[in-house]
Structure 1
Amino acid sequence: MLNGVQTGAGAQGRNWLRLCASLLALGLASCASVVDNDPPGTQAVRATPTALPADAPRVIAPPNADERESARVLAVYGGAYRDAKLERYLDDLVQRLAAQSDRPDIPYKLTVLNASSINAFALPSGRLFVTRGLLALANDDAEIAAVIAHEMAHVSARHAQARANAERNTQLVSGVGDMLHNTSLATSSQGSLAAFSRQQELAADEIGIRTIAKAAFDPYGASRFLTSMRRQVEARGRPSTPDFLSTHPSTPERIAKANEEASQFGSPGSGEHDKFGYLSVIDGLTYGEDPSQGFVQGRIFWQPRLAFTFTAPPSFTLDNTPQAILGVDGNGRALRLDTVKTKDGQSLSAYLGSGWISGVDTGSISTLSINGNEAATALARGQDWSFRLYAIRFDGDVYRLILAARNLDASTDALFQQTANSFRRMTSDEQRNVHPEHIDIVTVRTGDTLQSLASRMVEPQDQLDNFMVLNGFDSNTQLRPGDRVKIVAQ
C-alpha cells in the first residue's frame, strides 16, 4: 500500500482531528447500547457519486470475503469515481503490465476511488484500487504504471494475504494484552507487524520496477512518484502521532532503493514516459472534496445533494468522513454529525431517551424547532465527557448532532446551541453555486513563469508550493513554451 497522504487541509491538523474524534467515538461507545429497532451504527451524510437506477439488481450480501472487502474499501473511500475515458486508459495500462507481471494469470481489475487522499490498495484476488488524489499527483504514464505494478507485486508475492493473516494474529495478541492490561504486549506485536510491512513495501517496489521496465516504461517513474509524495508530505506537514510513514520505509530510503533498482534497466528517460497523453486523460479530474459527498469550507459544512449546511463553533476543524462529520478544537471539545434510523412513529424526544446512549438526563430532554425543522435536545454525562445531544428531523431523515466537552460549562453549552441553531436548508442559489475543484491542464506560453502559472491556482494560500508539488517541479525547473502543466481550477 502506498503512503496515505491527505490533500487539502494540513495533515497534522487532520491527524489530530481524527485522534480526538476517535476518543470521542470511544467515549460514546463506552456508554452506548443500541435498542432492537435502532440499527447498529449510523448512516453517513455523504453520498456515493453515482446512484443506482431504480431497476438495478440489489445485492443482498457480498458472496465472498473478497467482495466484502471490496465493498468495505468502496464504502470507506467514497465509492468509485466514474470517468469512462480514464477507466479505458487505466484498463489498457493494467493489461499491459499484467502481461509482464510475475502472475499474468491473475485477472487484475482496477477501480478508481472517489477520494482526495493519496493511496492505493490491492486485494489478494487481484482487485486493485487507486484514489483520484493519487492520479492527480502523478505526472506521466510511467509514474502511474509504477504505482499499479507495485500493487500487482503485493498480489503476486502474496503480501496481501500474508498481511491479512498477520493482522488477524496481531488482533488476537492485542485482545489478550487488553484483557491483562499489558499494553507493552500489544505494542510489541504491532511493531512486529510494522517491520513485516516494511519488507513487503521494499519487495513490492523492486518487483514493480522490474515489471514496468519489462513493459517498456521508464523504470525511474517509481522514484519520480515517490519524490512527489515526499514533497507532498513536506508541504503539508508530518503528523506528530503515528501514521503510515512511521510503519513503512522512509520515503528517502525508498527513493534511493528505487533509483538503484531502476539503474539496472537503463538511464533516466530510457523507457516510455508519456506526459502529454497522461495529462490529457486526467484533464477535468475532480480535485479535493467532491461536493456530491458534502464538503468543508472553514468551519462550515455544506451538503448540496441533501441541501443542508451547519457551522461549527470557533476554532473547530471539521473533517468529512464516510461515517460522519467530525470536528475538534484541540481544547477538549468535539462534535459528530450523522444520520440514524428511528422506530416508526417514534418522537425525537423519545429517541433521545431510548437508551442508545446511557447517562442521559431525562429531565433535560426538550423539544424545539431549528430553522423550521422539528428537533429535540438533551444532556448526557459519561466518565470523561459531557454531551449536548440533538436529534433533528430534516426531509424525512433524522440527523444526530453530538457535541462533547470535557468541561461542559454554560459558555461552552451556549456555543454548542449556536452550532445546532446553524443547521439549516441551503438556498437554491447556494446549491447552484457549488462546483467541484478540478485538474485543469494548461499549455505554457512564452513569458509564463512558475509564479504566474501558480497564481491561477484556485487555492488562495501557498499557491506556488502547491503548484510545484502537483507538477513534480522544484525551484530549478525551467518551463518551455508548449509544455503542459496542471493547475487546480473551479
Structure 2
Amino acid sequence: MRLFTIFFLSFFLTACAELEHQGHLFEPIPTQKPSSSVTDNRSSVQHKELVTQFGGEYHAPQAEAYLDAILLKLAEASDVPGQAAYKVTILNTPVVNAFALPSGNLYITRGLLALSADASEAAAVMAHEIAHVTLRHGALRAEREREAALISQAAAIIQNRQKGEEVRSHQRLSVASFSRQQELDADIAGVRVIARAGFDPYGASRFLTALGRSSDLRTSLYGKKKSVFDFDIMSTHPSTPDRVARAVASARELGAPGLGIRDRAEYLAAINGVAFGDDPNEGFVRDRKFTHPRLNFSFYAPEGFLLENANEAVFGVRQPDNEALRLDSVRNPQFGGLEAYLNSGWIDGLLSSSIKKLEINGLPAIIATARAGEWNFRIAVIQHGDFLYRLIFAVRALSDSVDQSFLQSINSFRRLTPQEYLDVHGLRLAIIAAVAGDSPETLAARMVVPNRPLEYFRLLNGLAENDSIIPGEHYKIVIE
C-alpha cells in the first residue's frame, strides 16, 4: 500500500542516506586535471552551489586561520612540485564531511571539526581530499562510469534481457570496486603527505576510528545497529575497519607511534566556540522537544522518543517498541480545506470514520487513523501560515494508551511565544581544563546534547570506555 511505502521506505532510506553522509567522506567530484597554479576562487558557480547545498558558509576566523596554516604545510609537503596552498571554507552543517576542488577550495564541515581530536586528524582529512584531486580520481571515476554505461547499453542491444542485466550488475560492481580503491589510494597518499608536513601519520587511522564510532552511535540511537562485519558491496567506500587497518599499516611504514606532532592544545583552542549540531534557525532538538524559530512552531514527541532533525523532515523512533514518527510540511494547496487535502490521495488505508476536525492551540487541524498491512497510523495535518504540517505516527498495535500518547504529542504543536524567540540559543563547543576529581561522567553531565551525553563526550574526545580523565588536560564539551 502506498502509505506503507511512503512512510517506511522514506524513513528507512532517508536514515540510510544520512548515515552514509555521517559515516563516510564524500566521493570525489568529477573534475578536470588540477592546475599547478591554485587560486582562491570563491566566486565560481560551483563554489556557490556547494556552499548553498551544505547550509552556507560558517565564519570562524580563528579556526579558518589555523586550518589555512595546516594547508600551507601540506602544500609544502605535496607530491606536486610548486603546489599552491588550498584555502579552507567551513560549511555550516553538523554532517561530518570534507572535499576539495582543483580551483584551490577545500571544504570542511563544522561536524568534522567537532569530531577531529587534534591537528593531525584534521590534516589527514584535508590531505585525503587533496589527494583525490591530485590523483584525478573524480575524472577517472567519471570515465569509468561512462565506459560501464556504454558496455551495459551495448549488452542490452545485442544480447537477451537477462544477459544484459548480468552485464549491468557486473559493471556496477566494477565501478564500486574502482571507487573503493580510490579511497584507499587517497588514504595512503594523505598519510605520507601529513608525515612529511610534520604531523602524526597515525592521525588518519584515529580519525577513521572516530568516524566509525560516530556512525555506530548514530545507528544505535535511530535504528538497528549493523554488524561490524556487514559490508555493502555496492558502497562507494570501503568499510571503516578495512580503512583503519590500511591507514595504520601505511603509518607503520613511516615509523612507530609517536612520530610527528598532534598539536592537540592549539587545535582545541582554534575550534573553541564553534557551533555544534543543528543551526537553530533551521530547527533544533532538545530532549523530546523540537523547535523551529524560523517557521515559528514547536512540538513535543511522546515519552521515550529520540528525535532527529533532517533536511526533509523530523524523524523519531522509540525503541524497543518499534514505534516511529515523521513531521514534514507541504505548501497549502489552497483548495477545499483540510479534509479535502487529507482525502486527496497522498495517503492510503485512511479510515474515513476516524477523521475529525479540531483546533490545536489556535491552529486549524484535522486528525485521522489509517491502516496498512500490520501497521497502524495516527495522522494529523495542521495548518500554520502558508504550510500544512503533517505529523504521522506509526505503530504495530495502536492501543488506547499508545494512541493517547500520540494525541498528546499532536496537541503540543503550537506557535512560539516572544520569550521563546529570545531564548533560542545554538549549541557550541567549549574547551575546558580538567581538574582533580573529574571523570567522564562528571564532565558529560555538563554537556547539552539531545541524548546520551556520556557517549557523545567520549566520542568527541576520543576516549574509550575505560579511559580516565587527566587533570590539566583539555577536553571538548557542548554548551548553550
TM-score by length of 1: 0.70
2:188 maps to which of 201, 206, 230: 206
Q: CA deviation at 1:334?
A: 3.8
CA contact (8 A) 2:286 2:449 kept: no
Rounded to whole Å, the distance in 2 between the matches of 1:376 and 1:471 is 47
Identity %: 43
Shift of 1:123: 5.7
Q: How big is the alpha-carbon RMSD for the aligned residues of Structure 1 and Structure 2?
A: 4.5
The answer to whether the 8 A contact 2:363-2:382 is kept is yes
The 1:365/1:198 distance shift into structure 2, 3 A limit, reads same
Amino acid in the other structure paired with 1:150: H
Maintained 8 Å contact 2:434/2:469: no
CA distance in 1, matches of 2:364, 2:196: 64
Deviations for 1:193-248, whole angstroms, at most 9, x for unmatched residues?
54333312211111111222333333232233234345555666765348997544
In the alignment, residue 85 of structure 1 is paired with which amino acid?
A: Q
Match of 2:325 among 335, 342, 365: 335
Report the Cα distance in structure 2 between the residues aligned to 1:457 and 1:422, rounded to whole angstroms: 26
Per the alignment, residue 50 of structure 2 pairs with 70
Which blocks of at least 5 consecutive residues in structure 1 are unaligned?
A: 1-18, 28-61
Deviations 1:121-150 (A, max 9, x none): 456766543332221122222220111111
Contact 1:318 1:325 in 2 (8 A): yes
1:369 is aligned to: 359
Aligned residue number for residue 156 of structure 1:
134
The answer to whether the aligner puts 1:489 opposite 2:479 as a matched pair is yes
User: SS where residue 262 of structure 1 aligns?
Assistant: helix
Q: Aligned with 2:359: secondary structure? A: strand
Alignment partners' CA distance in 2, 1:188 and 1:300: 47
SS in 2 for 1:423: coil
Q: Please say if 1:138 is aligned against 2:116.
A: yes
Distance change >3 Å, CA 392–CA 462, structure 1 → 2: closer
Give 2:9's match in structure 1, choosing from 23, 39, 53: 23
Match of 2:19 in 1: none
CA contact (8 A) 2:427 2:479 kept: yes
**What is the rounded CA distance, in whole Å, between the counterparts of 1:228 and 1:139 in structure 2?**
9
Mapped partners of 2:445, 2:284: distance in 1:
24
Q: Does 1:97 align with 2:74?
A: yes
Structure 2 CA distance for aligned equivalents of residues 222 and 170 of structure 1 = 32
Aligned equivalent of 2:247, options 246, 258, 261 = 258
Distance 1:167 1:317, change over 3 A: farther
Distance 2:203 2:97 in 1: 17
Listed as ranges, the gaps of 5+ residues in structure 2 are 14-42
**Which one-letter code corresponds to 1:93 in the other structure?**
I
The separation in 2 between residues aligned to 1:242 and 1:392, in whole angstroms, is: 40
Q: 1:340: how far off?
A: 1.6
Deviation of 1:478 after TM superposition, in Å, equals: 7.4
The alpha-carbon distance between structure 1 residues 280 and 25, as it changes in their structure 2 partners (threshold 3 A), is closer
**202-211 or 322-331: bigger deviation:** 322-331
CA distance in 1, matches of 2:385, 2:92: 26
Residue number among 292, 295, 299 corresponding to 2:281 in the alignment: 292
What is the CA deviation profile of residues 372-419 of structure 1, one whole-angstrom value per residue up to 9, with x for unaligned ones? 012234566667866554332224433233445567687766554443
Residue-by-residue CA offset, 1:338-386 (whole Å, 9 max, x unaligned): 2222345763334334445567677866542111012234566667866
- The one-letter code of the counterpart of 1:144 is A
Is residue 2:293 matched to residue 1:304? yes
Deviations 1:284-343 (A, max 9, x none): 122233433222334432223433122334554432110111234466654322222234
Q: Which amino acid aligns with 1:340?
A: V
Q: TM-score, normalised by structure 2?
A: 0.71
Secondary structure of 1:424's match? Answer: coil
Please state whether the residue corresponding to 1:337 is helix, strand or coil.
Answer: strand
109, 115, 130: which one pairs with 2:93? 115
| SS of residue matched to 1:485 | strand
| Greater RCO (Cα-Cα under 8 Å, separation 6 or more) | 1
Matched, 1:399 2:389: yes
Paired residue total: 429
Name the CA shift for 1:166/1:303 in 2 (closer, same or farther; >3 Å): farther
Opposite residue 335 of structure 1, the aligned amino acid is L
Secondary structure in 1 aligned to 2:246? helix
| Residues 285, 450 of structure 2: 8 Å contact kept | no
Superposed counterparts of 1:1-20, under 5 Å: none
Instruction: Give the AA of the match of 2:413.
Output: F
Aligned residue number for residue 33 of structure 2: none
Letter of the aligned partner of 2:460 in structure 1?
Answer: L
Aligned to 1:215: 197
* Equivalent in the alignment of 2:270: 281
Q: How far is the alpha carbon of 1:153 from its aligned partner?
A: 1.3
1:439–1:486 Cα contact (<8 Å) kept = yes
Distance 2:376 2:450 in 1: 38
Moved more, 201-210 or 120-129: 120-129
What amino acid is aligned across from residue 286 of structure 1 in structure 2? A
Cα distance, 1:249–1:313 mapped onto 2, change above 3 Å: same
CA distance in 2, matches of 1:170, 1:321: 34
Q: How does 1:32-47 map to 2 (within 5 A)?
A: none
Per the alignment, residue 427 of structure 2 pairs with 437
Matched residue of 2:273: which SS? Answer: coil
Measure, in 1, the Cα distance between the counterparts of 2:149 and 2:315.
26
Relative to structure 1, is the Cα distance of residues 164 and 392 closer, same or farther in structure 2, using a 3 angstrom cutoff? farther
Amino acid at match of 1:423: F
Which residue, 87, 94, 101 being the options, matches 2:64? 87
Amino acid at match of 2:204: A
